[in-house]
Amino acid sequence: MTTAVRLGADGDQYLDSQDPDPDLDYKNSGIAITEPEPGNVQVKLNVNPSLPEGNFRTITYKMVRKMANGWRTTSCITMKTP
Protein backbone atom coordinates (compact mmCIF):
# COMPACT_ATOMS: atom_id res chain seq x y z
CA MET A 1 0.00 0.00 0.00
CA THR A 2 1.31 3.49 -0.84
CA THR A 3 0.04 6.54 0.98
CA ALA A 4 0.86 10.20 0.97
CA VAL A 5 2.08 11.46 4.32
CA ARG A 6 -0.66 13.48 5.97
CA LEU A 7 0.27 16.58 7.91
CA GLY A 8 -1.57 17.10 11.17
CA ALA A 9 -2.33 13.40 11.63
CA ASP A 10 -2.70 12.04 15.15
CA GLY A 11 0.17 9.88 16.30
CA ASP A 12 3.39 9.25 14.43
CA GLN A 13 2.75 9.48 10.71
CA TYR A 14 5.97 7.65 9.80
CA LEU A 15 5.42 4.73 12.15
CA ASP A 16 1.64 4.80 11.51
CA SER A 17 1.05 4.43 15.22
CA GLN A 18 -0.33 6.26 18.23
CA ASP A 19 2.11 4.43 20.52
CA PRO A 20 5.52 3.47 19.12
CA ASP A 21 6.99 0.10 20.02
CA PRO A 22 8.91 0.67 23.28
CA ASP A 23 11.53 -1.88 22.12
CA LEU A 24 12.19 -0.11 18.81
CA ASP A 25 15.82 0.87 18.38
CA TYR A 26 18.27 1.32 15.53
CA LYS A 27 19.60 -2.24 15.68
CA ASN A 28 16.33 -4.20 15.83
CA SER A 29 14.61 -2.01 13.24
CA GLY A 30 16.80 -3.58 10.54
CA ILE A 31 17.02 -0.14 8.93
CA ALA A 32 18.48 0.05 5.41
CA ILE A 33 19.03 3.30 3.54
CA THR A 34 19.59 3.47 -0.22
CA GLU A 35 19.57 6.06 -3.00
CA PRO A 36 17.41 4.46 -5.74
CA GLU A 37 17.84 7.52 -7.96
CA PRO A 38 19.70 10.82 -7.63
CA GLY A 39 17.99 13.11 -5.12
CA ASN A 40 15.82 10.38 -3.56
CA VAL A 41 16.62 8.47 -0.38
CA GLN A 42 14.73 5.28 0.46
CA VAL A 43 14.49 4.03 4.05
CA LYS A 44 13.29 0.50 4.85
CA LEU A 45 12.69 -0.56 8.46
CA ASN A 46 10.62 -2.65 10.83
CA VAL A 47 8.72 -0.15 12.97
CA ASN A 48 7.31 -2.79 15.34
CA PRO A 49 9.98 -5.42 16.06
CA SER A 50 8.03 -6.73 19.10
CA LEU A 51 5.45 -8.31 16.78
CA PRO A 52 6.42 -11.78 15.53
CA GLU A 53 5.57 -10.77 11.93
CA GLY A 54 6.98 -7.25 12.35
CA ASN A 55 5.53 -4.11 10.77
CA PHE A 56 7.64 -2.98 7.83
CA ARG A 57 7.74 0.42 6.13
CA THR A 58 9.46 1.79 3.06
CA ILE A 59 9.66 5.58 3.04
CA THR A 60 11.08 7.60 0.13
CA TYR A 61 12.32 11.14 0.72
CA LYS A 62 13.05 13.82 -1.88
CA MET A 63 16.33 15.56 -1.05
CA VAL A 64 17.65 18.93 -2.22
CA ARG A 65 21.24 20.08 -1.87
CA LYS A 66 21.57 23.44 -0.17
CA MET A 67 25.00 24.71 -1.20
CA ALA A 68 26.23 26.05 2.16
CA ASN A 69 24.24 23.75 4.43
CA GLY A 70 24.39 20.28 2.80
CA TRP A 71 21.32 18.17 2.01
CA ARG A 72 17.77 18.84 3.21
CA THR A 73 14.55 16.84 2.97
CA THR A 74 11.97 18.69 0.90
CA SER A 75 9.18 16.12 1.07
CA CYS A 76 8.24 12.57 1.86
CA ILE A 77 7.27 11.16 -1.53
CA THR A 78 5.83 7.77 -0.58
CA MET A 79 5.26 5.49 2.34
CA LYS A 80 4.62 1.81 1.63
CA THR A 81 3.62 -1.15 3.73
CA PRO A 82 3.91 -4.66 2.29
In this prediction, residue 82 carries a pLDDT of 66
Residue 5 sits at φ, ψ, to 5 deg, of -75, 130
**pTM greater than 0.85 (yes/no):** no
pLDDT in tens, the chain (82 residues): 444 444 455 667 666 667 788 888 999 999 999 999 888 899 999 988 999 998 888 888 888 877 777 777 777 777 677 6
Task: Tell me which DSSP letter residue 6 carries.
Answer: P
Number of structural domains, the chain?
1
In this prediction, residue 11 carries a pLDDT of 67
Residue 51 structural domain: 2-80
User: Rounded to whole angstroms, how far apart are CA atoms 80 and 51?
Assistant: 18
In this prediction, residue 29 carries a pLDDT of 92
Pair 40, 77: CB distance under 8 Å: yes
